[in-house]
């Protein structure tokens, strides 16, 4: 597989655009409002409705199934959201200007902190702990995976080849035909890849979201995540082993039965077929050759045709692409709209400031920024260390095709495996050997995230042209100089994509990694992640949202200042053409 992890078309050229300035306060403001309103009338949270989890390994298949179903539900919601919002952003310029920065902010939101706010609301609305918790968990998984999918769909629509859209217009395709014959197929390879990446990243959140604490009450949803949570409480190393094993099986099945067949299938929709070996999947071959599957799809197709004939809604009828007369945009309403947004944002900032002053105080804000800085340092150091280790290894692997074809699936597997299942083992070790948690808890943040670096570097190194390597051989470019002149520049674009994803994942992971427990003991490192976790457990809404807001700001800043710049340099300097 020669894919890379999702590329992110950045919203704006500048590192901060005026839309950020308007939208960021709005987003944080909405959080504040939700948290504030949610805490005004405390929901009837009682653990009575919460599931009780048995540590018997015999029940694990059932728990695994439930975790998987949660994932499935979230992905369905994500796909619907992607198609609607991506389409909207691509077709309306006004929507585009707001939605795209919003998606960018969205992917910087620390999901784990935010799930508890969602949970509070879900409980309020549904008055049913299990249902509310289910919905909040699914919502959390959804928010962890939807952004890059929506981005990729939007981007595909924006990059539809002009010739094809013209042909679609000349042959007067209906809206439905346009969608099903042109837009969706064109988006398919990227959409499938991003969806699969999202699902892989999502296992982490499934595990985390199944055991949440809200206002001091622990709420458990039956699944692998809650199973391991209970195992930690009981200090049951055996049960933890079983949970890791079960997850291993789940991820393997997912990899073989969903991920690989889908990626191989999406190959068909590529404008320019992959060079070299196409991704393959035994499952896909099986499906393609099976007479039963063929019969079922044919039946479905016929039913669809019949349905369409009987109804024939308007969007299915031939469409005359009305040549639109280019209008100079109505400036007055545009200005009004912009001013309106600006006013709303200023008002939000005002109320935010007042609320923070009263609820938490200025000192607290300063404190949160300070501990945010600690976490920032951790993320930077860890990504740096991970790069130091995995870039050379990744390049070496990528240069060897045989090794690559073995390593790639393994790395994909590792990136999907929820690292938080391994946390208790670390906690156990830190406690046993009396290690300093400030330092030794940090590696947990990067444990699941570093594979993104490795995977992308392998993919990048794979594409180093053979003739460049031959030139390097013939002029005797060796050692460090060879790395500096050939390998590092060649993998930089791929590395940036990987590093960006890894850093984002590390921020998210900090919420569960900076504070871990083992039985009655809780080990904590000071940082923004543990702050958010503590405030979540305590049900202190203003502080929780303050923590979330500060983390969004840090993540955005790091993306814009570091990664976007690197990305541009990589794009302009090191791409051919």
Partner 1 sequence: MSALIELRKVRKEFTGPERQPITVLDGVSFSLRENEIVALLGKSGSGKSTLLRIIAGLTPPTAGEVLYKEKPIRGTEPGISMVFQSFALFPWLDVFENVRLGPEAQALDAAEQRRRTLEAIDLIGLDGFESAYPKELSGGMRQRVGFARALVVEPDVLLMDEPFSALDVPTSETLRDDLLDLWRERKIPTRSILMVSHSIEEALLLADRLLILDGDPASIKAELPIRLTHPRDRNSEAFRALVDRVYAIMTRPAAPVVGPLAAMGIGRRLPSANVQQMLGVLDEVSEQSTSGKLELAALADELEMEVDEIFPLVEALELLGFATTEGGVLHLTDSGEAFLEADILERKVIFGRSLVERVPLARHITAAIEAEDDHRVSEERFLTELNEFFTDEEAERVLEVLVAWGRYAEIFAYDYDSGEFSLENPTAEEATD
Shortest Cβ 188–partner 1 spacing (Å): 8
Shortest Cβ 94–partner 1 spacing (Å): 18
Q: Does residue number 161 form part of the binding site for partner 1 (CB under 8 A)?
A: yes
Kindly give, in sequence order, each residue whose CB lies less than 8 Å from that of residue 150, ignoring residues fewer than 6 positions away.
Answer: 81, 82, 85, 86, 89, 103
Q: Using the rule CB under 8 A, which residue among 58, 328, 332, 475 binds partner 1?
A: 328
Candidate ranges 44-52, 203-211, 324-332, 427-435; the one touching partner 1 (CB under 8 A): 324-332
Shortest Cβ 311–partner 1 spacing (Å): 12
Give the nearer residue to partner 1 in terms of CB position, either 46 or 568. 568
Candidate ranges 2-10, 99-107, 182-190, 431-439; the one touching partner 1 (CB under 8 A): 182-190
Instruction: Give the DSSP letter string of 172-226.
Output: T--HHHIIIIIIHHHHHHHHHHHHHHHHHHHHHHHHHHTEEEETTEEEE-SSHHH
Residue (of 207, 224, 187, 186) closest to 140 by Cα position: 207
Q: Which two tokens stand for residue 160?
A: 């539809």
The answer to whether residues 279 and 294 touch, using CB atoms and an 8 Å cutoff, is no
**502-536 burial code (b ≥16 CB/10 A, e <16):** bbbbbbbbbbbbbbbbbeeeebbbebbbbbbbbbb
Give the nearer residue to partner 1 in terms of CB position, either 178 or 560. 178
Count of residues that interact with partner 1, criterion CB under 8 A: 39
**55-64 burial code (b ≥16 CB/10 A, e <16):** beeeebeebb
CB atoms within 10 A of CB 201: 25
- 456 burial type by CB count under 10 A (0-12 exposed, 13-18 middle, 19+ buried): buried
- 400 burial type by CB count under 10 A (0-12 exposed, 13-18 middle, 19+ buried): middle
Q: Does residue number 177 form part of the binding site for partner 1 (CB under 8 A)?
A: yes
Q: 201 vs 123, 205, 497, 518, CA distance in Å? A: 26, 8, 15, 25
Q: Using the rule CB under 8 A, which residue among 2, 218, 235, 270 binds partner 1?
A: 270
Shortest Cβ 275–partner 1 spacing (Å): 13
Candidate ranges 48-56, 280-288, 314-322, 489-497; the one touching partner 1 (CB under 8 A): 314-322
Candidate ranges 2-10, 36-44, 63-71, 320-328; the one touching partner 1 (CB under 8 A): 320-328
Q: Which 20-79 positions form the footprint of partner 1 (CB under 8 A)?
A: none
Site string for partner 1, 283-312 (x = CB under 8 A): ----------------------x---x--x
Q: Does residue number 273 form part of the binding site for partner 1 (CB under 8 A)?
A: yes
Q: Which 360-399 positions form the footprint of partner 1 (CB under 8 A)?
A: none
Q: Does residue number 316 form part of the binding site for partner 1 (CB under 8 A)?
A: yes
Binding site for partner 1 (CB under 8 A): 161, 163-164, 166-167, 169-174, 177, 181-182, 185-186, 188, 268-271, 273, 305, 309, 312, 316-326, 328, 572-573
């Amino acid at each position: 597989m020669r894919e890379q992890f999702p590329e992110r078309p950045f919203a704006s050229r500048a590192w901060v655009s005026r839309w950020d300035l308007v939208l960021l306060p709005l987003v944080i403001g909405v959080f504040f409002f939700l948290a504030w309103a949610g805490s005004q009338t405390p929901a009837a949270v009682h653990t009575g409705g919460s599931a009780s989890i048995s540590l018997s390994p015999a029940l694990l298949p059932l728990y695994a199934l439930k975790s998987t179903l949660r994932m499935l539900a979230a992905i369905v919601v994500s796909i619907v959201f992607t198609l609607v919002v991506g389409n909207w952003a691509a077709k309306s310029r006004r929507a585009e200007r707001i939605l795209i920065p919003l998606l960018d902010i969205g992917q910087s939101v620390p999901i784990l902190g935010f799930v508890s706010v969602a949970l509070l609301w879900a409980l309020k609305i549904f008055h049913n702990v299990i249902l509310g918790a289910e919905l909040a968990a699914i919502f959390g998984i959804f928010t962890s995976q939807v952004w890059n999918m929506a981005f990729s769909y939007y981007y595909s629509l924006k990059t539809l080849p002009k010739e094809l859209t013209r042909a679609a217009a000349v042959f007067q395709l209906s809206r439905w035909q346009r969608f099903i014959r042109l837009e969706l197929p064109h988006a398919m390879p990227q959409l499938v890849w991003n969806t699969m990446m999202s699902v892989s990243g999502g296992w982490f959140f499934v595990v985390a979201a199944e055991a949440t604490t809200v206002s001091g009450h622990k709420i458990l949803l039956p699944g692998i995540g809650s199973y391991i949570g209970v195992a930690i409480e009981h200090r049951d190393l055996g049960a933890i082993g079983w949970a890791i094993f079960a997850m291993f099986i789940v991820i393997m099945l997912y990899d073989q039965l969903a991920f690989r067949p889908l990626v191989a299938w999406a190959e068909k929709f590529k404008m320019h077929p992959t060079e070299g070996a196409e991704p393959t999947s035994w499952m896909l071959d099986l499906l393609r050759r099976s007479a039963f599957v063929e019969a079922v799809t044919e039946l479905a197709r016929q039913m669809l045709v019949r349905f369409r004939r009987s109804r024939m809604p308007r969007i299915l009828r031939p469409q005359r692409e009305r040549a639109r007369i280019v209008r100079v945009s109505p400036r007055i309403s545009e200005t009004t709209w912009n001013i309106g947004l600006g006013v709303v944002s200023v008002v939000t900032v005002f109320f935010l400031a007042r609320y923070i002053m009263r609820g938490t105080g200025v000192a607290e804000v300063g404190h949160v920024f300070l501990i945010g800085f600690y976490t920032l340092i951790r993320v930077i150091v860890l990504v740096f260390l991970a790069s130091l280790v995995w870039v050379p290894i990744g390049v070496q692997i990528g240069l060897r095709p045989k090794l690559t074809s073995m390593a790639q699936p393994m790395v994909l597997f590792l990136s999907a495996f929820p690292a938080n299942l391994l946390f208790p083992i670390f906690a156990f070790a830190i406690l046993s050997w009396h290690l300093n948690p400030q330092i030794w808890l940090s590696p947990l943040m990067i444990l699941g995230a570093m594979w993104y670096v490795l995977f992308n570097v392998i993919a990048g190194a794979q594409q180093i042209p053979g003739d460049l390597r031959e030139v390097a051989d013939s002029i005797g470019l060796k050692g460090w100089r060879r790395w500096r002149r050939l390998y590092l520049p060649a993998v930089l674009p791929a590395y940036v994509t990987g590093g960006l994803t890894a850093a984002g994942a590390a921020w998210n992971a900090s919420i569960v990694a900076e504070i871990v427990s083992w039985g009655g003991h809780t080990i904590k490192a000071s940082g923004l992640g543990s702050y958010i976790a503590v405030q979540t457990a305590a049900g202190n809404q203003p502080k929780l949202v303050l923590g979330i807001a500060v983390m969004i700001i840090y993540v955005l800043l790091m993306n814009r200042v570091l990664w976007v710049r690197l990305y541009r340099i990589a794009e302009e300097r090191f791409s051919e053409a």
